[in-house]
């Protein structure tokens, strides 16, 4: 069985606990998300932390581009497919200095692949047919972007055309309100 943190998994008189737990008034209580195995014969209860999935090279991840500081775009990983990940995982996309436009926009949600793991950092790429920006607002005015070409999107507020690597399922996201600057 799986125990959540704080869940009572047995009483100390009945079972000898092993693993990660704390005792509260004679109760054996899980401290982290744990697998609990009760051995009735041995009268033991084993409480083992559930291991987080680790992200490997080649994994597809969904992330938010926090900011761009050439030659890197810094990305917070929101999810990795089929994996339970800890919340604070960061990745980076290398931007070729010869490219005039970064492949992603600040604030955009992207689908990327882990190209390599380097000194604990995830190096991501969007350089593949089904990778790239999934949704984004205009970087200049916050307006909604609509796909114009394979890798161009136009802002329907300010009219700018942005060059960006769009995922095939890129979708227009309409802001909830418009702020008019004088
Ligand atoms: Zn705009």
> Region 60-67: what's the mean pLDDT?
92
Q: How far is CA 22 from the centre of its chain?
A: 31
Q: How far is CA 69 from the centre of its chain?
A: 20
Q: Residue 152 corresponds to which tokens in the numbers above? A: 């161009």
Q: What is the DSSP letter of 157?
A: T
Torsions phi, psi for 71 (to 5 deg): -95, 25
Q: Residue 4 corresponds to which tokens in the numbers above? A: 């959540």
26-53 burial, b at 16+ Cβ within 10 Å, e below that, comes to: eebbbeeebebeeeeeeeebbbeeeeee
Whether the predicted pLDDT of 53 surpasses 70: no
pTM of the model: 0.68
Whether the predicted pLDDT of 164 surpasses 70: yes
For residue range 102-152, list pLDDT tens digits in order.
Answer: 999 999 999 999 999 876 678 999 999 999 999 999 999 999 999 999 999
Which structural domains are found in the chain, ordered by start? 2-49 (2.40.50), 60-163 (2.40.50.140)
pLDDT of 69 reads 95
CA of 97 from ligand 1 middle (Å) equals 25
> Region 38-62: what's the mean pLDDT?
82
Q: Residue 47 corresponds to which tokens in the numbers above? A: 């409480």
CA of 75 from ligand 1 middle (Å) equals 22
pLDDT of 173 reads 83
Whether the predicted pLDDT of 83 surpasses 80: no
Whether the predicted pLDDT of 34 surpasses 80: no
DSSP β-ladder status, 109-118 and 60-69? antiparallel
What is the torsion angle, in degrees rounded to the nearest 10, for the CA atoms of residue 151, residue 172, residue 137 and residue 100? 0
CA of 133 from ligand 1 middle (Å) equals 16
Q: What is the mean pLDDT of the chain?
A: 87
pLDDT of 56 reads 83
- At residue 84, the 3 state secondary structure works out as coil
pLDDT of 5 reads 79
CA of 175 from ligand 1 middle (Å) equals 11
pLDDT of 87 reads 56
> Region 25-51: what's the mean pLDDT?
84
pLDDT of 10 reads 86
Total residue length of the chain: 182
């Amino acid at each position: 069985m799986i125990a959540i943190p704080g869940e009572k998994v047995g009483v100390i008189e009945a079972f000898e606990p092993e693993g990660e737990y704390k005792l509260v008034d004679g109760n054996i209580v899980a401290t982290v998300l744990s697998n609990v195995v009760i051995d009735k014969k041995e009268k033991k209860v084993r409480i083992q932390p559930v291991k987080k999935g680790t992200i490997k090279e080649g994994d597809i991840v969904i992330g938010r581009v926090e900011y761009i500081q050439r030659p890197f775009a810094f990305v917070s990983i929101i999810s990795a497919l089929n994996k339970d990940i800890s919340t604070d995982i960061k990745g980076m996309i290398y931007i070729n200095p010869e490219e005039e436009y970064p492949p992603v926009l600040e604030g955009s949600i992207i689908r990327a692949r882990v190209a390599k793991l380097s000194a604990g950092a995830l190096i991501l790429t969007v350089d593949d047919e089904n990778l790239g920006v999934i949704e984004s607002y205009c970087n200049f005015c916050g307006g909604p972007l609509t796909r114009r070409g394979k890798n161009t999107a136009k802002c329907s507020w300010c009219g700018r055309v942005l060059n960006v690597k769009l995922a095939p399922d890129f979708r227009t996201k309409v802001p909830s309100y418009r702020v008019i600057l004088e």
